[in-house]
Amino acid sequence: AERVNGILKTEFLLSRPADLEQARKMVRESIEIYNRERPHQSLKYKTPDAVHQAFYRHKSVNLCQD
């Protein structure tokens, strides 16, 4: 969690929000980008969303085969 917070602060939340609603929107959009668009070196340059989907596709195939 600490790594994610640091990345959010240094890469995404570069401007100061005008109010709480704008801050929430900025964080929500940043998390979407982090999970769906930003490749991660530790995931062999895949996005967390792609790895997550592949895991559950593989898991559901295994369940159907049992």
pLDDT tens, 17-40? 999 999 999 999 999 999 999 999
Within 10 angstroms of residue 37's Cβ, the number of other Cβ atoms is 9
Residue 3: the pLDDT is 84
Task: Output the CA–CA distances (angstroms, integers) from residue 15 to 18, 31, 52, in the order listed.
Answer: 9, 16, 30
> In DSSP terms, which residues pair with 59 in a beta bridge?
none
- Measured in whole angstroms, how far is the alpha carbon of residue 16 from the centre of its chain? 21
- What is the C-alpha to C-alpha distance for residues 46 and 60, in angstroms, rounded to an integer? 21
- As a whole number, mean pLDDT of residues 29-57 equals 93
Total domains present in the chain: 1
**Is the distance from CB of 40 to CB of 47 less than 8 angstroms?**
yes
